[in-house]
Amino acid sequence: MGDDGSFAAEYADAALFLGMNSAAEEVRRACKAFFVTRCAGRLVMSLEQVGRCDDVIWGYSRELQDAYYPFMDHLHTVMEIERVGYDEADVRRGTDAATPRHLPMHERLLLGMVHNREGLLRTVSERLLGHVELPVRAPDPVIGPEPSFPEPLEALYRDSLALRIPAGAL
């Protein structure tokens, strides 16, 4: 965290990204609003978290994948999402004693990256949000009308909602 309380960058995990297609409406709306409000901004995702999104989607039928991927592909094209790999310092930080040992390794490594690079992780993972000492925050809830992506992204998003992911799968 910088001297002014700001973070170097915001990070998103697979739970936040896939949350845009959550079967839980409150989660879906919050995750979508997070991405809508950052369409013109910058966001970071680890390469592993991008891969985790694909791993979940590939578990669905070809028909649902075909409904989902045009949105995801277009969003990754129009939004500045920096996809980065772990470096040695990220791995050391993610496996040191300060990172909760009970978390799955993929979350520990992501937290190592976020800590090491002085970022803030946005997620809907209850497991991560249960640690108030970590640089982890939930997206803000949506009050009022649901925000929309610019077209044609919004139409692609609406089509992607043929695929709804159970909250426990995030």
> Has residue 44 been placed in a domain?
yes
Which residue bears the tokens 């978290």? 49
Name the nearest CA neighbour of 35 among 149, 164, 163, 170: 149
The pLDDT value recorded for residue 119 is: 96
The pLDDT value recorded for residue 169 is: 85
SS3 at position 13: coil
The pLDDT value recorded for residue 4 is: 46
> Has residue 66 been placed in a domain?
yes
The pLDDT value recorded for residue 148 is: 98
Q: What is the CATH number of the domain that holds 155?
A: 3.40.50.1010
Which residue bears the tokens 């159970």? 166
- Mean pLDDT, 10 residues at a time, over the chain (170 residues)? 63 98 97 96 96 96 98 94 97 93 95 96 96 94 96 98 92
> Has residue 5 been placed in a domain?
no
User: How far, in Å, are 85, 98, 104 from residue 132 at the CA level?
Assistant: 26, 13, 17
List, in sequence order, every beta strand (DSSP E) within 24-161.
Answer: 42-46, 80-84, 120-122, 136-137
Rama region for 5: left / alpha / beta (φ>0; ψ in -120 to 50; rest)? left
- Total count of domains within the chain: 1
The pLDDT value recorded for residue 167 is: 81
Question: Under a CB-based contact definition with an 8 Å cutoff, are residues 33 and 48 in contact?
Answer: no
Two tokens, residue 85: 């790999």
The pLDDT value recorded for residue 3 is: 46
Two tokens, residue 83: 């996809």
Question: Under a CB-based contact definition with an 8 Å cutoff, are residues 163 and 68 in contact?
Answer: yes
> Has residue 1 been placed in a domain?
no
SS3 at position 140: coil
Contacts of residue 100, Cβ cutoff 8 Å, sequence gap at least 6:
108, 131, 134
User: How far, in Å, are 4, 75, 88, 118, 139 from residue 27 at the CA level?
Assistant: 30, 19, 33, 26, 9
> Tell me, what amino acid is at 119?
G
Range of the domain at 154: 10-164
> Has residue 127 been placed in a domain?
yes
